[in-house]
């Protein structure tokens, strides 16, 4: 890291850290007191206990500030809440899309899971779930009242009373 960047880190920490500011303030106050006392006392400075106490307090404050500056600043906490919300939204959306796709392929638009019944009353049968298959009749359709083969009943009354087949040349007279 270049010297200018390192210096900028220290300046920023001095401006932001209240503990460092307090220690530097104490050191400046102590050094000012030492300076004023030495100006007043001129020759008796070497034996002044109060002067030494102020000087010791200033040196301790400078050392504490330097120690605090050497410590690396705490990194800002990473914001992971937004990422978790995005992942959750994608998971929910993907699940909803998958369920809709499965419903389209199985032909069950009203149910959430395969195998659930859409009927509301007990005993009612569920409507067919798949596409309706066309029914192919075994015989061609006939008109009402038209018999397709001799002796075949076309109405319910004829089905209950079978008539004997008529043969050509015989007269059909009913005994009455």
On the question of pLDDT at 163 being above 80, the answer is no
Residues 58 and 12 in one domain: yes
Query: What global pTM score does this model have?
Result: 0.38
Residue 34 Cα distances to 21, 44, 49, 63, 124, angstroms: 20, 13, 11, 17, 101
Q: Which of 18-27, 43-52, 134-143: highest mean pLDDT? A: 18-27
Residues 47 and 101 in one domain: no
- 160 inside domain: no
Residues 14 and 51 in one domain: yes
Residues 38 and 95 in one domain: no
- 143 inside domain: no
pLDDT of 51: 87
Per-residue confidence band for 42, with pLDDT thresholds at 50, 70 and 90:
confident
In the chain, the number of structural domains is 2
Residues 15 and 64 in one domain: yes
**How many CA within 13 A on the CB side of residue 36?**
8
Domain residues for the domain of 92 are 81-112
Final residue before a domain boundary, out of 70, 96, 122: 70
- 45 inside domain: yes
Residues 66 and 94 in one domain: no
DSSP single-letter state for residue 105: H
């Amino acid at each position: 890291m270049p010297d200018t960047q390192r210096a900028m880190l220290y300046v920023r920490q001095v401006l932001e850290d209240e503990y460092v500011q307090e220690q530097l303030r104490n050191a400046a106050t102590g050094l000012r007191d030492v300076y004023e006392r030495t100006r007043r006392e001129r020759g008796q400075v070497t034996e002044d206990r109060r002067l030494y106490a102020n000087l010791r307090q200033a040196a301790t404050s400078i050392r504490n500030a330097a120690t605090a500056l050497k410590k690396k600043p705490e990194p800002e906490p990473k914001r992971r809440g937004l990422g978790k919300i995005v992942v959750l939204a994608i998971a929910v959306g993907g699940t909803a899309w998958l369920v809709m796709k499965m419903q389209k392929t199985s032909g069950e638009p009203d149910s959430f899971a395969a195998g659930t019944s859409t009927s509301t009353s007990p005993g009612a049968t569920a409507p067919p779930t798949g596409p309706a298959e066309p029914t192919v009749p075994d015989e061609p359709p006939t008109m009402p009242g038209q018999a397709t083969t001799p002796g075949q009943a076309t109405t319910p009354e004829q089905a209950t009373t079978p008539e004997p087949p008529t043969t050509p040349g015989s007269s059909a007279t009913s005994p009455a």
